[in-house]
Structure 1
Amino acid sequence: MGEGNRSEEEAQISNKHGGWITFPFVIGTFACMTLATGGWLSNLIVYLIKEYNINSIDATLISNIVSGCLCVFPVVGAVLADSFFGSFFVILISTSISLLAMVSLTLTATIHSLRPQPCDHNNTSITCSSSPSKLQYTILYSTIILACLGSGGSRFTTATFGANQYDTTKDQNIFFNWFFVTLYAGFVASSTAIVYIQDNVSWGWGFGISLAANVISLAIFLLGNRFYRLDKPEGSPFTSLARVLVATARKRLAQMQVGSDEGCYYYSDQDHRVGMPIVDGVTLTKSFRCLNRAALITRGDIHLDGTIAKPWRLCKVQEVEDFKTLLKIFPLWSTSIFLSVPIAIQGSLTVLQALTMDRHLGPNFKIPAGSFAVIIFISTTISLTLVDRFLYPIWKKLIGRMPRPLERIGLGHVFNFLSMVVSALGESKRLKIAHVHHLQDQAEAIVPISALWLFPQLVLVGMGEAFHFPGQVGLYYQEFPTSLRSTATAMISLVIAVAYYLSTGLIDLLHKVTKWLPDDINQGRVDNVYWMIFVIGVINFGYYLVCARCYKYQNVEDGGKNINDSITEH
């Protein structure tokens, strides 16, 4: 009787909480956090160079590592939310950590003793030798780590938390649309307005605005507390994946004792059968056959009622097949890493190029170097609209179906290495002008060429993202089992993180081994870097074509309709 009353009370609480009344609180929280994050991330390279006297290449390496952390920590946040604390507390803790970081970052910009002595950037004949002290480095890096933890831990957890407030798929899709619109709008606003204030007013005011946005974010989130529907931790899908590996290793001799095709495999608590039948649509396949041992029942693995007695020794067939799905898609996932590496390198080097170019628009306005990434956001947004409304409908009329995820990703590859070609040609032109004016002998000299020459390469990057990013989302969403949909999002985040780390290593290697990336890029050959990553991109595209050719879709159609169609419609 007591249990029945409790379930009725829980149902009533669930009905009272959640829904569209939570929308302004969740979106408001996310919008302010995005503004706060973009406010310090977009101009980090310039801040390190101008205020901490860190040389340009080292500043680039730090920025790439930070960007990688911002892609890893969302995965950590999602695991903690699913497994232990729930989304609400992860968002609350992460936002509070971010607030602490914003306070510290604002202090570094306003208290002179927390920074090294400034260099005279107007005197090009003097080399700056004032480096940060150990204490200043410690405070700076601790602040950046806290900022990464706070921003990364809350970013995609907020998306999950917001979607959980709605009962229908339609409402959840509407929320996700607004979520991504807010993400882009927040970064555009922070990369323009806040960066402009940092460059033209003061760093203290710029970081102060980010701090204020973080305070408002935390306040909005807490104000909506009485309306939220709180999710309970249900365990991370990564745990079941680890269990498959452990169970396979512990039963490495089991197949030899029983026989590879005649063992008794565990399907569910109510139904485990001999052989390899189809139970509830699940088939124990012969691919990656050694993993089947994880579902092989041996003495003491199950209780009399059919439940698993030793979770780290026996797995369900569904869990084994889910793990196989990851292995099958891993080659395609790996191609996405070298698709993102050139974008990460180009994003960092573009800031360094912009710092050495004429960034004036008219006599009174100067484009901040950290704002050039906005061109990618704008290009992606416009391209997404044109592709969705014009290109894909034409494709469907000509071929009879919407383009599949692998075809979209392939087009993204092409635009990606084309942007590297344009980047190399543009940098060659910049260096030629620098040499004509003998500026390679002057430290931090401004080359008399408009920074608008950087726009074409950034536009092509945005066009490529309009193809390959939705293509990756569609591929993982379509091919991953339902139980691993959250893992699909994590896969995309991990791709970007690994790409940033690899780009950091590649830039550091080129800086040490070649003369292409000196501290003053006017003395280097950044164009050779672009040509090199163009070659890498072409080779990776060939590897991608082989992987795509060998891959077989597992869920091409859904009720006679292409899943890509339904994703596009939403």
Structure 2
Amino acid sequence: MGKEEGLSPGDGEAQLSSAPSDGKQRGGWITFPFITASVAGLTLASGGWMFNFIVFMIGEYNVKSVDAAQMWNVVNGCTAMFPILGAIVADSFLGSYSTVFISSIFSLLGIILLVLCTTIGSLRPPTCDPNGPNSCITPSSLQLSILYLALTLATIGVGGTRFTLGSMGADQFDQPKHQWTFFNWYMFTTYTTTVISTTAITYVEDNVSWGWGFGICVAANVIGFVVFVAGSRFYRLVKPKGSPFTGLARVVVAAVRKRNVVSSNKSEDSYHRADDGGVNVVATTPTGTFKFLNQAALKTEGDVKPDGSIAKQWKLCTLQQVEDLKTLIRLSPLWSTGILLSTPIAVQMSLSTLQAITMDRHLGSHFKIPAGSILVFISVSTCLTLVFVDRFLYPMWRKIIGRFPPPLQRIGIGHALCALSMAVSAIVESKRIKKAHNIGANSVVPMSALWLVPQLSLAGIGEAFHFPGNTALFYQEFPAALKSTATAMVAMMIALAFYLSTAVVGVVRRDTQWLPDNINEGRMDKVYWVCFGLGGINFVYFLVCAWFYKYQGLAEEADDNKA
């Protein structure tokens, strides 16, 4: 291997592309085991500390139950929001490889600090003693500062790796059908390792020690990082071309500055030259939608230098930049439906853990399900559904209909199933509350925690449709310059949903008595019915948005090329 093939953080993308100077072709299925193993290791590491976070805060830091659930929502929102920042960095400056490399180190440092928080007694408050003079001592400012630093580092690590690895994996393939297959297996790997982390690692944390549990997360992080680096010689790396958002902002500014210029639909009146001096041939004629933005690419006197380059960057843009912004505007209503779809799910995930804590979690006489592991049924049902739809449902659909179901149909199925899971949650919670009222508020409800399985399974099945559907839709419909950002937009959608769920729970706690600190004295079933109503209204909104949306051609091409 020649010297120019060597990779190091920060210069990998600057040196390599899909056609390196040594003539070796990179990318393709040879990269699949490296990227998939990296996804598995890093997801196992993050899931090990994240999914048992509520129990960790209640048991180790003496935080009240609903407050711990709210903190969990915020942490999940951050782990989903940071990927959009990681994608911007990958697209604009470092490239995907370097972003994953650096973020993996951040993740490792954060989890190591969590290990220290659980093994050094002075870094956390003493365990609650119901019979002592001070039943529960709140953590000190120093203890919380160290904990928040650990969470920040670990969260940044998740943000820079989770979806950046997904878009980097898709970049290894040229055909949309291969990209779709990769996304399905990417999601399958993510959920499979999540199952392991929410069962095996959570069990170690609850029954052995938090130090050992977080130590396993450290080992998984190291393995994922090493495997990722080991595959460096095979990756196809896309060069970052500067921030694409700057170009989009220039479109708006230029369109406003030229609002009084006489418009023209002629191709020769628009500017086509790309930033690298080549001719941009993707968009040749201005489209009729959002005509006001076409002004940004309209050439006027003094806009172009004698050599053909732009004289004033904030007065003229390429026609392709204009069309890219239009694409984002057309997709924004569909993207917003994903926020309202994920909000009830976020509420359900945090409250289900609190329900499990109050219920009978015994399987037989010797084994007790950790409360944090109850969410595993979402991941299990998602994994099984992904295999079913990829190997049976979608191929059968193609034989009957003549094509695979497009992304919007998959997302729509997910909407309906997730709304249904909220109704099941409300019914089950009504049954749990009745039993709680009959035995006393502070007792364990004589009702198996397995009653929570149907609602979580429905949510998982729905997620197997809408999550890969949204990821594929945005990746294929977003402009080429925003591919990494496209997949991270799904993460941002989920992040906003977790933040919104925190606000919803906060309003409910402030204005009602439905969510007291002791949930056996509340009416959580009414919270679920509110979530069902939100999901139903949002489903109708999605159907309207999907009806008016027109694919840009890539989705149909993927369907036609599917083997």
Tell me the TM-score normalized by structure 1.
0.87
Letter matched to residue 458 of structure 2: L
Could you give the per-residue CA deviations for residues 382-401 of structure 1, whole angstroms, max 9, x where no partner exists?
22333345544555566554
Q: Does the 8 Å CA contact 1:98/1:214 hold for their aligned counterparts?
A: yes
Matches within 5 A, 1:347-358: 347-358=349-360
Match of 2:558 among 556, 563, 566: 563
Alignment partner, residue 415 of structure 2:
413
Alignment partner, residue 258 of structure 1:
262
Distance 2:365 2:534 in 1: 41
Letter matched to residue 362 of structure 1: G
Alignment partner, residue 336 of structure 1:
338
C-alpha distance 553-262 of structure 1, shift in aligned 2 (>3 A): closer
Deviation at 1:268, TM superposition (A): 1.4
Asked if 1:497 is matched to 2:506, the reply is no
Match of 2:196 among 164, 189, 192: 189
Distance 1:402 1:233 in 2: 33
Distance 2:102 2:527 in 1: 41
C-alpha distance 398-76 of structure 1, shift in aligned 2 (>3 A): same
Distance 2:27 2:472 in 1: 28
Alignment partner, residue 239 of structure 2:
232
Alignment partner, residue 7 of structure 2:
none
**What SS does the aligned partner of 1:309 have?**
coil
Asked if 1:76 is matched to 2:85, the reply is yes
Deviation at 1:540, TM superposition (A): 1.4
Letter matched to residue 141 of structure 2: K
Q: Does the 8 Å CA contact 1:83/1:235 hold for their aligned counterparts?
A: yes
C-alpha distance 487-232 of structure 1, shift in aligned 2 (>3 A): closer
Match of 2:163 among 138, 146, 156: 156
Asked if 1:269 is matched to 2:297, the reply is no
C-alpha distance 393-201 of structure 1, shift in aligned 2 (>3 A): same
Letter matched to residue 342 of structure 2: S
Deviation at 1:491, TM superposition (A): 2.3
362-371 or 10-19, larger mean C-alpha shift:
10-19
Alignment partner, residue 286 of structure 1:
288
Deviation at 1:412, TM superposition (A): 1.7
81-90 or 529-538, larger mean C-alpha shift:
81-90
Distance 2:546 2:171 in 1: 34
C-alpha distance 357-566 of structure 1, shift in aligned 2 (>3 A): farther
Distance 2:547 2:224 in 1: 46
C-alpha distance 22-476 of structure 1, shift in aligned 2 (>3 A): closer
Q: Does the 8 Å CA contact 2:195/2:379 hold for their aligned counterparts?
A: yes
Letter matched to residue 269 of structure 1: R
Q: Does the 8 Å CA contact 2:176/2:558 hold for their aligned counterparts?
A: no
Could you give the per-residue CA deviations for residues 293-330 of structure 1, whole angstroms, max 9, x where no partner exists?
21122333211122223333211112111211211221
Asked if 1:241 is matched to 2:248, the reply is yes
Match of 2:138 among 131, 135, 145: 131
Distance 1:227 1:393 in 2: 31
Matches within 5 A, 1:167-182: 176=183, 178-182=185-189
C-alpha distance 433-363 of structure 1, shift in aligned 2 (>3 A): same
**What SS does the aligned partner of 2:446 have?**
strand
C-alpha distance 166-488 of structure 1, shift in aligned 2 (>3 A): closer
Distance 1:293 1:547 in 2: 27
Could you give the per-residue CA deviations for residues 9-64 of structure 1, whole angstroms, max 9, x where no partner exists?
x8443518666665554443332211111110110111011110111111111111
**What SS does the aligned partner of 1:299 have?**
coil
Q: Does the 8 Å CA contact 1:64/1:348 hold for their aligned counterparts?
A: yes
Deviation at 1:169, TM superposition (A): 6.9
Alignment partner, residue 275 of structure 1:
none
Match of 2:367 among 365, 378, 382: 365
Deviation at 1:204, TM superposition (A): 0.9
Q: Does the 8 Å CA contact 2:341/2:535 hold for their aligned counterparts?
A: yes
Unaligned regions of 5+ residues in structure 2, if any?
A: 1-14, 275-279
Q: CA RMSD in A?
A: 3.1
Alignment partner, residue 129 of structure 2:
120
Match of 1:217 among 216, 224, 247: 224
381-390 or 530-539, larger mean C-alpha shift:
381-390
Asked if 1:448 is matched to 2:446, the reply is yes
C-alpha distance 356-265 of structure 1, shift in aligned 2 (>3 A): farther
Asked if 1:87 is matched to 2:96, the reply is yes
Q: Does the 8 Å CA contact 1:245/1:294 hold for their aligned counterparts?
A: yes
Asked if 1:476 is matched to 2:471, the reply is no
Deviation at 1:171, TM superposition (A): 6.9
Q: Does the 8 Å CA contact 1:106/1:208 hold for their aligned counterparts?
A: yes
Q: Does the 8 Å CA contact 2:184/2:386 hold for their aligned counterparts?
A: no
Alignment partner, residue 213 of structure 2:
206
Deviation at 1:67, TM superposition (A): 1.1
Q: Does the 8 Å CA contact 1:237/1:487 hold for their aligned counterparts?
A: no
Asked if 1:41 is matched to 2:36, the reply is no
Q: Does the 8 Å CA contact 2:188/2:383 hold for their aligned counterparts?
A: no
Letter matched to residue 187 of structure 2: F
Q: Does the 8 Å CA contact 1:244/1:291 hold for their aligned counterparts?
A: yes
Alignment partner, residue 58 of structure 1:
67
Match of 1:512 among 510, 513, 535: 510
Deviation at 1:346, TM superposition (A): 0.4
Match of 1:385 among 384, 387, 399: 387
Distance 1:115 1:184 in 2: 31
Alignment partner, residue 10 of structure 2:
none
Unaligned regions of 5+ residues in structure 1, if any?
A: 1-5, 271-277
Distance 2:447 2:248 in 1: 54
Distance 2:150 2:224 in 1: 19
Could you give the per-residue CA deviations for residues 178-200 of structure 1, whole angstroms, max 9, x where no partner exists?
53333222211111110000011
Asked if 1:546 is matched to 2:544, the reply is yes
Q: Does the 8 Å CA contact 1:478/1:563 hold for their aligned counterparts?
A: no
Alignment partner, residue 113 of structure 2:
104
313-322 or 100-109, larger mean C-alpha shift:
313-322
Letter matched to residue 305 of structure 1: D
Match of 1:28 among 37, 40, 43: 37
Letter matched to residue 407 of structure 2: P
Match of 1:300 among 281, 299, 302: 302
Could you give the per-residue CA deviations for residues 226-276 of structure 1, whole angstroms, max 9, x where no partner exists?
665554322343332222223223x1xx24243566897434129xxxxxx
Alignment partner, residue 274 of structure 1:
none
Distance 1:166 1:405 in 2: 19
Distance 1:172 1:425 in 2: 40
Letter matched to residue 248 of structure 1: A
Distance 2:468 2:56 in 1: 33
Q: Does the 8 Å CA contact 2:100/2:164 hold for their aligned counterparts?
A: yes
Distance 2:374 2:232 in 1: 38
